[in-house]
Amino acid sequence: MTTRLSSLGARKKAQPEWIDPMLATLTRDYFSAPDWIYEPKLDGIRCLAFKRGSKVTLLTRNKLSLNDRFPQVVAAVKDQSERNLVLDGEIAASSHGRTSFGALQQRLDLQRGTTRGGTQLNYHVFDLVHLGEWDLTPADLLARKSVLKERVTPAPHLKLVAHKKEKGEAYFAEACAKGWEGIIAKRAAGVYVRGRSKDWLKFKCSNEQEFVIGGFTDPQGQRTGFGALLIGYYDGAQLRFAGKVGTGYNDELLRSLTHRLEQIEIEESPFEGKPPLRKNVHWVAPKLVAQVGFSEWTGKDARLRHPRFVGLRDDKDPKKVVREDPS
């Protein structure tokens, strides 16, 4: 095993306490190429799993622990025969082959590992970053995937992400037809780097990204809680207003989210400039992140058209939420 890993370019190194995950870059330049592979784009929570002997730690991109929320995933990683490893993947809820962040957040039954309606909760592993005393980040992607398949065993709540070669455009069309979020194109010979990289590219079927909540409006008519969330994104140190989101909520969410918003209400707008809003507006400290789907960005004023609330994200740092434009 030692000889093989060294031959792949791996290097001996102590297992890290943390590693900044490799992130994909959004593109609209869809392509097929023999030196790239293609995977489903999963709609869940990015998760790095660290196993050291009998201890397992699940961490989000901003280093929040997921152990209490997903004990079944902790158990699945702990049961692996390898004593020391670092896995990279996505925790997602799926039904009929389609993952859904909304289902993960709103419908998850943490005790049983399934959600109402038979939706399955799994840790979808797509990379192996560290194994034993070996740092695998210098090895190319297909080599890492080969070792992952050999050394990590699929189990209840732990799945290995399959990939396809060459036919990226056809796979993307298939993904969109099935209602998936999209696919990820990955350079087959690429090494694992920290942070955003163009060796991983996102092909998205629909527009959806994170936004920072900076305020809310009063409810109208029979509605309770709030009317719409006021959202934005960071441009350097400035929070830019992107519009308001008034759809995608049920009564339970309206009540619980209103309570959270009231706890962080502030006097002045956190947005740069003054958003073009009417009265009955409340401002909040920019501490909460919402996942929002939308049809498109408008032109000069850079607002969202037909936005809809998908869910809250506690795995994203508000300060790192920026407008996601294709490269």
What confidence score (pLDDT) does residue 277 get? 72
What confidence score (pLDDT) does residue 278 get? 65
Mean pLDDT by 10 residues, the chain (327 residues): 72 94 95 96 96 97 94 97 97 84 65 55 97 96 96 96 93 91 96 96 92 94 90 96 93 92 94 79 96 87 90 92 86
Token readout for 237 is 């140190």
What confidence score (pLDDT) does residue 184 get? 98
Contacts of 256 (CB under 8 A, 6+ apart): none
Closest CA to 25 of 147, 251, 190, 178: 190
Give the type of residue at 166. E
Helix H or strand E encompassing 212 = strand 207-217
Residues identified as active-site? 41
What confidence score (pLDDT) does residue 107 get? 52
Using only C-alpha atoms, the chain has a radius of gyration, in whole angstroms, of 21
CA dist., res. 183 & res. 61, Å (int): 20
| Residue 318 per-residue DSSP state | G
Tokens 């869940």 correspond to what residue?
44
Token readout for 137 is 């980040």
Angle value at C-alpha 294, between 292 and 298, nearest 5 degrees: 125
Closest CA to 126 of 95, 102, 96, 99: 99
What confidence score (pLDDT) does residue 127 get? 98
What confidence score (pLDDT) does residue 220 get? 86
